[in-house]
Structure 1
Amino acid sequence: MASDLKIALVGNPNTGKSTLFNLLTGLNQKIGNFPGITVDKKTGYCKLPDGKQATVIDLPGTYSLYPKSKDESIVFQVLADQKNPSHPDLIILVADATNLRRNLLLYTQVADLGLPVILALNMTDMARKEGIEVDVDLLSERLGVQVVAISARANAGLDQLKLAIGNRTSVPTQVAGADMHALAPEAVSKAKSVLSSDRDYFAMQLLHQHQHLDTLTGEEHGKLEKIKTETGFESSKLQAAETIARYRYLSTVMTGLIKDTGAARKFVFSDKLDAVLTNKFSGFLIFILILFFIFNSIFSWSSYPMELIEGSFAWLTNYGHQHLPDGVLTNLFLDGIVAGLGGIVIFIPQIAILFAFISILEDTGYMARVTFMMDKIMRKFGLSGKSVVPMIGSLACAVPSIMSARNIESWKDRIITIMVAPLVSCSARLPVYTLLISLIIPNKHIFGFINLQGLTLMGMYVISISAAILVAFVMKLVIKAKEKSYFIMELPVYRMPRWKNVLFTMYEKSKTFVFEAGKVIIAISIVLWVLATFGPPGRMDQVDQKYARIEAAKDSLQISTLERDKAAERLENSYAGILGQTIEPVIKPLGFDWKIGIALITSFAAREAFVGTMATIYSVEGGDAQATTIRSKMLAAKDANTGLPIFTFATGFSLMLFYAFAMQCMSTVAVVFRETKSWKWPMIQIVYMTGMAYIASLIAYQLLK
């Protein structure tokens, strides 16, 4: 899409930058209150008052142009490199009006790069509530830059910001900060000559971190390294000296700029809540109670809509068999596609409830407190507090969570986080858990309000998180690294959740789950139906001939029973049946039969394929005529040798443990390879997780059977 202007949004984490991006572009995106949620730059388009169109790029939040993590390095690459396709014509620096001095440090660095800047002073409504008034005109005069007071959450000041964009200049007008040339005059002068640049700060930045710019030639990289050696350029000392110089400059800027009206003490409400919610005793207790409430609600609130969806698909299947002509296409559509898709759609209510709670916890600022509380515990097990962000994110999906691990500075902490994040139970495991729990755990309440199924579900999540922490501890001892990690985090103030954002998250995540999982499920269901319907001609002919002889001497009631027996025997002799029986000796000690074995194989494409596979297998098999839903068919399933139910408590719990630990997600394998640039780590991940799954299932089944 063609545009007349390219704008980059830059700012510290938690300044409302992504909220402003949504307002400017009209794009709805996920917004979090803690660092790590915005990993890559996001792009949208904005219509300006003069009729022109601007491309808006939302860059990751950063406290400084000196990157401490991979996602922060994106900001420097985009702003400093004129050859970068995202290099902007204008920068909007979003600053938090309640913490202006710290935010202006980044502003002075960005301004010194020599690009036009507009300063968007966000959260001005919150600042007023806290008794802080900023003289916007005086700030604009001192910095020599347009300053616009806005409130992105309240959608205030957006028109004025767009007018400021329209009044922009093509050359920078802002006042430079501290004198960077004076910090390292010889090195800066030589670097400017190499780079053919007249910008002191640009030259200094490249001396600090030229390795982040891929567009520099090998010769230029070599010359810059040589300059650093010849001039004794000490990066860490000069960065510290620069920060001191910039804060001295900001002291003059801030003089008389902020008026404290005394209306309220800053963050008084947040401070009182934090005293309770981040306390090492009450904080953890409250967190456990919140988790219990969430998982209890997932079962309690979703039961009616799930029954409605389940009944609708059962009716559709029966109606189709009654009114559509018999044949291969009808069976493929009803017993393959509809059955497989129905096994996924039924879980939309639970997925929506889970993501609604996650969105509320993020929006209110509570998730950041959980990260803060977990830091000390995580460090004992080889992780940092920032590892909590990917691990909590893995409750939704491991793929974006692994990408958000770029926010972790320590290579060792980052690798360990990537390796254990898939162990945390994601939304793809939720359909498997809920289906199996509904089969083996009675729908009862203890103490009148605690749902036993919800308690079991919470237990599965606790098991997965505990396993991730224990594996991290082992990897801490195995993986060696010299650098030390640290954890710096700004806790956002508490806010009411944006209900529109919560509803959109429920809709968007449910839609993504259905469409992304649905594509896989439909493909697997079609292939599986073919494999379960057809088999080697000789074996299938023998089954048909056997039952043809028997049917000739039976009455209609017996023939109805024989048809189900025939369908079961045809399935057993199909290609799918042969495949399942081939691996059955390996999985038999876990309590799994060959039908479950087929589901284990298909689940390596995506975990949620288990439900679709079971629906397709039992639809093809036939079975109890009274069983119309996937759950009722699985409940009615009997072991051909013993006559006992297949899905006993021992088998169900063993199967849940297998899915809790096994690496059954090709997307996760792909993203681990992309993030580590090596097949070594994903292969280790597949081996250790599959091994854990097998051993845990084996022990569970053998003890419980």
Structure 2
Amino acid sequence: MSAAPVAAELRVALAGNPNVGKTSLFNELTGSRHKVGNYAGVTVETREGAVAARWQPTRSVTVVDLPGTYSLTPVSEDEAVAFRCLHGDEGPPPDLIVLVVDAANLARNLYLAMQLCELGRPLVLALNMMDVAAEAGVPVDAAALARALGVPVLPTVARTGEGIAALVAEICRFGQVPWDMAEVRGRLFGTPLPAGLAALPPARARWLVAAQASETLGLTGATAEERAALAGVDAGELRALAAALVIGRYAEVDRALAQIGHRGGERAPAMDRSARIDRVLTHRVWGLLIFLVVMALLFQSIFAWAEPLMGVIEAAIAWLSGQVKAGLGPGLFTDLLTEGVIAGVGNVLVFVPQIALLFLFIGLLEDTGYMARAAFLIDRLMARVGLHGKAFVPLLSGYACAIPAILGTRTISSFRDRLVTIMMIPFMSCSARLPVYVLLISALFDGEARVGPFTQASLVLLAMYVLSTVSALAVGAIYKRTLLRSPTPALVLELPPYRLPRVRNTLLQVYDRTADFVRDAGTVILAMTVVLWALLSFPRPPEAVRAGDPVELVAALESPIEHSLGGQFGKLIEPALTPMGQDFRMGVAIVGSFAAREVFVSTLGLVYGIEADDEDNQPLRQALREAKAADGRPRYSPLSGLALMVFFVYACQCMSTLAVVRRETRSWRWPLLMFVSMTALAYAMAVGVFQVGRLLGY
């Protein structure tokens, strides 16, 4: 049987409410691995991909994943992105819209379907989460819904791939099936419009009414002719008309639900179970305590489970360095490989197991729906200090990386509230800080000491994350009451039902995120390491003994790197570092970390690699633990390590974050304020911790 001829390329937009599985469906259709989460606000910009060959499409299909939106009257930047794509304001509109709806929440999802029917673009409904609807006791008759709406309706379960093949086949039949929304559109367009607006295309006129009545940013796409038509309509009439249009859409939703016999008023058993669990997990007191215990267990497992593999990686790095030295012999190139590449990058790779475990546990908590409950708990506190309820989702993303978290603020409608959230995000302890924390904790704190069932190390790590979260909230409250004062918006947060995590997807996400970290180690960190190696190696100190020459007396140096450019700069800033308990070696590493926080670890690896004897290939953690000052006392203490970790909690040491803030705020004012204020606060807090600790006798 010969293959069907390939027709013209199709451009398909995936639209839908937040948290209905659009990104899961996009990943299945295209073979991508974009982040998904069991909470709203994960997707904030468009993504494109071709339908994968395994679905056997009969024509070329490009799929665009849009941010979630509840209606076509956008009230935030992410909804505006979806709006502009569907309307074709910034390019050709999609040939076909696939509206992804949550089968277990059909009544809420169909309002957007009615607006898309008004829009008049070819439409297919992907009735997603059919398994959840069946489990909840609210199964949906897809064929009956298709008759009620006049569009194809395909049942799917995006998490497992069920129904995707049929959906792709329906997409590829575009233009061949005479589905007609005329009956539904006729009822939706039944509400008469004023004369000036009646002359415009019906869908466009109704959007203008809604946009003008709610004064949202959606009106920015209106033409001069459309604005003139609106100007002739009384404001009160516009508001009444907008309300009538909304009532008409909901009436059509009710009609469609009644036509398919949908029992939308009954409470789903799955949500009943979730509600019973939530009585404990979202309790004002017990909920927060349980959340802290969960986080403590998470960090405890990170230390306990990752330690053996970290030891293996450290041993492998030491072995590799020894082999290179033995094979190449002494020389500048050998020093570059052993002291620069292997010691620098290798000491960052040591922390891959812990980073992978952190991503794994957070991914599982997200997939089950528990992180949405954590958002609810913190949202309650955020609302009390005047912060936007939607801010916690990007703040939560900040635990992984500040850059996508800042992009995630596009879900916030108010620019001032969005800016407050952007200024808070760098305080969240991202995964790049984890190697810094773990290095200092494992090197300077007693790994065997326990407090109840938890190790001292895990509790110190938990304390850094708690400190970062509390500090972010405090800073947000200050901005909200000073530079960015604005009313506190209402808290609206949708709690999804609890679900069993799909382990395969979570593991793929862990692999991708960990691979990104390793890729950074092999590119950005490697490049920085080579540059820093040169700065720490040249000029070299004068040799005390030369072959054939008498012994020359040379002024003793505390370290061979002191004579280098990097070492001289470290000694220059050492007086400013002493009050926070750090020496010039730490100063060099802190300065290097302004490019990326992980560079702190690689720079220390360079410093101690250059200072070490040729036969000494000890791990960096051991080198820090055993380092001695000139008077024979330990060079670093738990107190100095704690002060340095506090510095990294507050310091904005990531150039990429500042660049993204500049792009999102369209000004250098805010990234400069962020950098200066956070650096000053970090220094003051680190000095305070160290000096108070000394006064207390630590």
TM-score norm. by structure 2 comes to: 0.92
The residue aligned with 2:4 is none
How far is 1:578 from its partner?
1.1
The residue aligned with 2:225 is 223
How far is 1:688 from its partner?
1.1
Are 1:162 and 2:152 counterparts? no
Deviations 1:237-287 (A, max 9, x none): 443322111111222222241355999735222121112111112211111
Hey, what's the Cα distance between the residues in 1 that align with 2:255 and 2:166?
27
Deviations 1:415-462 (A, max 9, x none): 111101101111111000001111221011426631111111001111
Hey, what's the Cα distance between the residues in 1 that align with 2:141 and 2:687?
68
Hey, what's the Cα distance between the residues in 2 that align with 1:644 and 1:618?
18
Hey, what's the Cα distance between the residues in 2 that align with 1:56 and 1:212?
26
Q: Aligned pair in 2 of structure 1 residues 673, 23: CA closer, same or farther (>3 Å)?
A: same
Query: 2:232 is matched by which residue type in structure 1?
Result: E
Hey, what's the Cα distance between the residues in 2 that align with 1:266 and 1:660?
40
Query: Which of 77, 87, 109 matches 1:70?
Result: 77
How far is 1:145 from its partner?
0.9
How do residues 503-522 of structure 1 correspond to structure 2 at under 5 angstroms?
503-522=507-526
How do residues 388-399 of structure 1 correspond to structure 2 at under 5 angstroms?
388-399=392-403
Are 1:691 and 2:691 counterparts? no
How far is 1:608 from its partner?
0.9
Q: Aligned pair in 2 of structure 1 residues 3, 460: CA closer, same or farther (>3 Å)?
A: farther
The residue aligned with 2:191 is 182
Are 1:578 and 2:568 counterparts? yes
Deviations 1:608-651 (A, max 9, x none): 101000001111122595562112222232223x3322211222
How far is 1:231 from its partner?
1.5
Query: 2:687 is matched by which residue type in structure 1?
Result: L
The residue aligned with 1:253 is 256
The residue aligned with 2:139 is 133
Are 1:34 and 2:23 counterparts? no
Q: Which runs of no fewer than 5 residues in structure 1 stay unpaired? A: 193-198, 555-561
How far is 1:135 from its partner?
2.7
Q: Aligned pair in 2 of structure 1 residues 323, 345: CA closer, same or farther (>3 Å)?
A: same
Instruction: Tell whether the 8 Å contact from 1:69 to 1:409 is kept in structure 2 after alignment.
Output: yes
Q: Aligned pair in 2 of structure 1 residues 213, 446: CA closer, same or farther (>3 Å)?
A: closer
Are 1:81 and 2:88 counterparts? yes
The residue aligned with 1:615 is 605
Aligned residues: 679
Of 583-592 and 612-621, more deviation after overlay is shown by 583-592
How do residues 201-350 of structure 1 correspond to structure 2 at under 5 angstroms?
201-206=203-208, 208-209=210-211, 221-233=223-235, 237-258=240-261, 265=269, 267-350=271-354
How far is 1:128 from its partner?
2.0
The residue aligned with 1:634 is 624
The residue aligned with 1:365 is 369
Q: Aligned pair in 2 of structure 1 residues 50, 70: CA closer, same or farther (>3 Å)?
A: closer
Instruction: Tell whether the 8 Å contact from 2:19 to 2:41 is kept in structure 1 after alignment.
Output: no
Of 566-575 and 656-665, more deviation after overlay is shown by 566-575
Instruction: Tell whether the 8 Å contact from 1:83 to 1:215 is kept in structure 2 after alignment.
Output: no
Of 270-279 and 249-258, more deviation after overlay is shown by 249-258
Query: 1:78 is matched by which residue type in structure 2?
Result: C
Query: 1:612 is matched by which residue type in structure 2?
Result: S
Are 1:119 and 2:125 counterparts? yes
> What SS does structure 1 have at the residue aligned with 2:628?
coil
The residue aligned with 1:173 is 180
Instruction: Tell whether the 8 Å contact from 1:382 to 1:475 is kept in structure 2 after alignment.
Output: no
Instruction: Tell whether the 8 Å contact from 1:394 to 1:421 is kept in structure 2 after alignment.
Output: yes
Q: Aligned pair in 2 of structure 1 residues 215, 473: CA closer, same or farther (>3 Å)?
A: closer
How far is 1:481 from its partner?
4.3
Hey, what's the Cα distance between the residues in 2 that align with 1:383 and 1:232?
35
The residue aligned with 2:596 is 606
Deviations 1:45-68 (A, max 9, x none): 114656212001111111111112
> What SS does structure 2 have at the residue aligned with 1:369?
helix
Of 417-426 and 381-390, more deviation after overlay is shown by 381-390
Deviations 1:462-483 (A, max 9, x none): 1111111111121121034455
Q: Aligned pair in 2 of structure 1 residues 15, 240: CA closer, same or farther (>3 Å)?
A: same
Hey, what's the Cα distance between the residues in 2 that align with 1:397 and 1:464?
14
* Cα root mean square deviation, aligned: 2.7
Hey, what's the Cα distance between the residues in 1 that align with 2:227 and 2:175?
36
Query: 2:649 is matched by which residue type in structure 1?
Result: A
Hey, what's the Cα distance between the residues in 1 that align with 2:614 and 2:324?
18
The residue aligned with 2:689 is 700
Hey, what's the Cα distance between the residues in 1 that align with 2:239 and 2:383?
26
Hey, what's the Cα distance between the residues in 2 that align with 1:480 and 1:602?
33
Hey, what's the Cα distance between the residues in 2 that align with 1:283 and 1:587?
41
Of 503-512 and 124-133, more deviation after overlay is shown by 124-133
Hey, what's the Cα distance between the residues in 1 that align with 2:495 and 2:635?
50
> What SS does structure 2 have at the residue aligned with 1:255?
helix
> What SS does structure 1 have at the residue aligned with 2:132?
helix
The residue aligned with 2:109 is 103
How far is 1:83 from its partner?
5.2
Deviations 1:644-668 (A, max 9, x none): 2221122211111111110100011
Hey, what's the Cα distance between the residues in 2 that align with 1:23 and 1:423?
35
How far is 1:180 from its partner?
4.0
Hey, what's the Cα distance between the residues in 2 that align with 1:126 and 1:291?
28
Q: Aligned pair in 2 of structure 1 residues 684, 448: CA closer, same or farther (>3 Å)?
A: closer
Hey, what's the Cα distance between the residues in 1 that align with 2:56 and 2:508?
28
Q: Which runs of no fewer than 5 residues in structure 2 stay unpaired? A: 1-6
Query: 2:643 is matched by which residue type in structure 1?
Result: S
Of 423-432 and 573-582, more deviation after overlay is shown by 573-582
Deviations 1:94-153 (A, max 9, x none): 111112121111001012111100111112222222222323222212211111122222
How far is 1:489 from its partner?
2.5
Deviations 1:295-317 (A, max 9, x none): 11111110000000011101111
Hey, what's the Cα distance between the residues in 1 that align with 2:345 and 2:652?
23
Query: 1:608 is matched by which residue type in structure 2?
Result: E
Q: Aligned pair in 2 of structure 1 residues 550, 469: CA closer, same or farther (>3 Å)?
A: farther
How do residues 403-482 of structure 1 correspond to structure 2 at under 5 angstroms?
403-446=407-450, 449-482=453-486
| Identical-residue share of aligned pairs (%) | 38
The residue aligned with 1:6 is 11
> What SS does structure 1 have at the residue aligned with 2:269?
coil
Are 1:672 and 2:661 counterparts? yes
Hey, what's the Cα distance between the residues in 2 that align with 1:547 and 1:636?
28
TM-score norm. by structure 1 comes to: 0.91
Instruction: Tell whether the 8 Å contact from 2:605 to 2:620 is kept in structure 1 after alignment.
Output: yes
Query: 1:590 is matched by which residue type in structure 2?
Result: M
Q: Aligned pair in 2 of structure 1 residues 236, 264: CA closer, same or farther (>3 Å)?
A: closer
Query: 2:9 is matched by which residue type in structure 1?
Result: D
Query: 2:579 is matched by which residue type in structure 1?
Result: P
Of 656-665 and 3-12, more deviation after overlay is shown by 3-12
Instruction: Tell whether the 8 Å contact from 1:336 to 1:616 is kept in structure 2 after alignment.
Output: yes
Instruction: Tell whether the 8 Å contact from 1:101 to 1:254 is kept in structure 2 after alignment.
Output: yes
> What SS does structure 2 have at the residue aligned with 1:202?
helix
Q: Aligned pair in 2 of structure 1 residues 352, 81: CA closer, same or farther (>3 Å)?
A: same
Hey, what's the Cα distance between the residues in 2 that align with 1:480 and 1:51?
53
